[in-house]
Structures are given as structure tokens and as C-alpha cells.
Amino acid sequence: MPNDRKYTAFCGLYCKDCIPSNERLFQLLRDLEKLLIEIKFDEYAQLKALNISPYKNYPQFHEVLGEMRKLERKSLCTEGGCKEDCKIRKCVIGKKYEGCWECADHKTCPLLQYLKEIHSIEHNLAMIRKYGPEEWSAYRGKHYCWL
């Protein structure tokens, strides 16, 4: 039996699909940042910028790398990860539900609206209801609308 419950977020997302949970991505970012600092790529970029103008943006690139690293989340939704002050999590816990799939208001809930614009929330909630939170993940929808 797959251990889907562990990765099933209160809102119907599957935690392993989120970019902030992508271990490989964050390992690569850490390695890249470390290497760039080690070889002082900033000084090399200054030199290259004399002839190749995109290198003038190297400081911004480095800043973006740092911001990307801050996106990392090691805890799952049900362990308090993702958004610390998530209103959806508070609402679900307050209503003593396992997740939004148990809520009769999920179609009109304003708290889910933003997520629905990006993720397959309605589809996921229907799959969790049909197959149960332990065994639904094989039927989940596209995590990000652009993938």
C-alpha cells in the first residue's frame, strides 16, 4: 500500500510534487552557489562584463540563487511545513477534518481559490474522496498548470 497519507496536504496537494520539496534542486543550488564562491566567479563576471553585457547582471543572478535556496521546505504540510500560517490548515484542523476533501464547501471556498488557479485542486480532492488519502496519488492531476 503506498504511503500517500504522509504526503497528502490538507488542501489536496501532494507535498512531493512541490518545487520547495525538490531535494535535488536544492542540493544543486547549494553546490552551484558554493562553487561560484570558491572560484570567485563574481570577479570573473566583472571581467567578462567589459565585453559581454549580460554579465553585468551577475550580482542579480547570485541574489536570485540565494532567494531560490530560501524556498526549500523540509517539513510536510501535515507536519507544519509549507506555509507556517496557512489559513487552509487552520480551517481544516478547526473543523476536525482530515483535509478539504471532507468539506462540503470545497467548490466555493475562498481559501482554496488561489491554489485552484495554479494546481489541480478540484481533481485531487475528487480523487482523494474516491480512492482515500492512502492510495490516491497515482490519480493526481498536474501539480503546476505550466507543466
CA 59 to mean position of chain CA atoms: 26
67-86 residues in contact with ligand SF4 (CB under 6 A) are 77, 82-83, 86
- Work out whether 112 is an interface residue with ligand SF4 (CB under 6 A): yes
Map the footprint of ligand SF4 across residues 4-33, applying CB under 6 A: 9-11, 13
* Residue 128 sits in the site that holds ligand SF4 (CB under 6 A): no
Binding pattern to ligand SF4, positions 35-54, x when CB under 6 A?
Answer: --------------------
Q: How far is CA 93 from the centre of its chain?
A: 21
Least Å distance between CB 96 and ligand SF4? 10
**Which phi and psi (to 5°) does residue 73 adopt?**
-125, 125
- Scanning 22-30, 53-61, 96-104, 135-143 for contacts with ligand SF4 by CB under 6 A, the matching segment is 96-104
- Cell readout for 75 is 517539513
Q: For residue 23, report the phi and psi dihedrals to the nearest 5 degrees.
A: -60, -40
Could you tell me if residue 136 is left (phi over 0), alpha (psi between -120 and 50 degrees) or otherwise beta?
Answer: alpha
Rounded alpha-carbon distances, angstroms, from residue 23 to 19, 29, 69, 139:
9, 10, 11, 23
Question: What is the binding site for ligand SF4 (CB under 6 A)?
Answer: 9-11, 13, 77, 82-83, 86, 88-89, 91-92, 95, 97, 100, 103, 105-106, 109, 111-112
